[in-house]
Amino acid sequence: MSHIAYINGLYEPNKNALINIEDRGLQFSDGVYEVIYVWNETPVDYGAHIERLSRSLNELNIPAPMSWRSLTVIIKEVIRRNYLRQGIIYIQISRGVASRTHGYSREMEPSLVVTAKFTAPPSEEIVKKGVKVLSTPDIRWARRDIKSISLLPNIIAKQSALDVKAFESVFYKSDGSVTEASASNVWIVDKDKTLITHPTSRDILGGVTRATILKLARDAGYRISEHSFTLQNMHVADEVFLTGTTTFVMPVVQVDKHTIANGYPGECALELRDRYIQYIKDVDPVMAWNV
Ligand code: PLP
């Protein structure tokens, strides 16, 4: 079955959905995006994703292409036309189309693309074994809090992980502190069972899954501390795990050549993953769309 995309007012099969060659998203990566998980045709954490999209647009002075209510109508329609029961919705907004020059007019009309993809989170088999991650210097720009479509350092990092059969690359700064991973946030659990993750700042993307896991963990009575940690702290941690929209909660059992604890997925990660899956299943199909 051909996927149906929305692009600037039209619903088209993906192969016919065309972007102007002078779209600034294409020429300058001048745009932002969101990825929203869909379960049973219902978005997970929709309000938080739309809030982050709105913030990313504001930070870059890109006007919203339409009201959030109209965008919601389009997203529902893309889900409907694709019969998307489980997968992701990808939303991309670029500054729009103009003859190529670095400066831009404030009057530009942004381009909006919404696509659907059938995909499942990592299998139980992978989760049961846990994954390996690679460490990589964080060579990204200083505004990682903006969900920009400019992702070259992220894709280079991800590919270098995949090339050595690792699941993710974890970024560290020149001072040795770990920021996040190429497409997920990073957590450790220390010896006294405190969950630690980098605080939200310009250094990391404030993950929507990160925020939900913080809430679920608090509700479950975990001790939590939002502060930065080093690769060395990861090596000696009781547990390491990743969170993200498509990753859910993924236990990490190896960081470079260092085995984490006994080399098996940690119980906090597995428990939080179960709670997260339950949270997704419990999403109310009507309330889910509230922004
Ligand atoms: N950090 C980066 C760099 C990401 O690209 C992502 C997701 O794409 C995340 C963290 C996790 O964010 P979320 O939980 O909103 O998917």
| Residue 76 known to be catalytic | no
Average pLDDT of the residues in 61-90: 98
> Which pLDDT band, with edges at 50, 70 and 90, does 86 fall under?
very high
pLDDT tens, position by position, 216-248: 999 999 999 999 999 999 999 999 999 999 999
Q: How far is the CA of 277 from the centre of ligand 1 (A)?
A: 18
**Topology adopted by domain 124-280:** D-amino Acid Aminotransferase; Chain A, domain 2 (3.20.10)
For tokens 């209510």, what's the residue? 69
Counting residues of the chain whose pLDDT is more than 90, the rounded percentage is: 99
**Directed axis angle between helix 68-81 and helix 46-59, to 10°?**
120
Q: What confidence tens digit (pLDDT) does each residue in 246-277 have?
A: 999 999 999 999 999 999 999 999 999 999 99
The answer on pLDDT for 149 being more than 80 is yes
Report the separation in Å between the CA atom of 101 and the middle of ligand 1, taken as the mean of its atom positions: 30
Q: How many CB atoms lie within 10 A of CB 55?
A: 15
Judge if the beta carbon of residue 207 lies within 6 A of ligand 1.
Answer: yes
Would you say residue 121 has pLDDT above 70? yes
- Structure confidence by residue, pLDDT tens digits, 18-63: 999 999 999 999 999 999 999 999 999 999 999 999 999 999 999 9
Atom of ligand 1 nearest to the CA of 45: 15
Is pLDDT at 1 greater than 80 in this prediction? no
- Nearest CA to 182 among 197, 202, 160? 160
- For domain 4-119, the question of CATH label 3.30.470.10 is answered with yes
210 lines ligand 1 (CB under 6 A): yes
Question: For residue 2, what pLDDT is reported?
Answer: 76
Q: What tens digit of pLDDT does each residue of 164-209 get?
A: 999 999 999 999 999 999 999 999 999 999 999 999 999 999 999 9
pTM confidence score: 0.98
- What would the mean pLDDT of 87-91 be, rounded to a whole number? 98
Neighbours of 216 (CB within 10 A): 18
Q: Where are the domains of the chain?
A: 4-119, 124-280
At 79 the pLDDT is 98
Residue 228: left if φ>0, alpha if ψ -120 to 50, beta else—which one? beta
Residue 212 or residue 1, greater confidence: 212
265 Cβ below 6 A of ligand 1: no
Question: What integer best gives the mean pLDDT of the chain?
Answer: 97
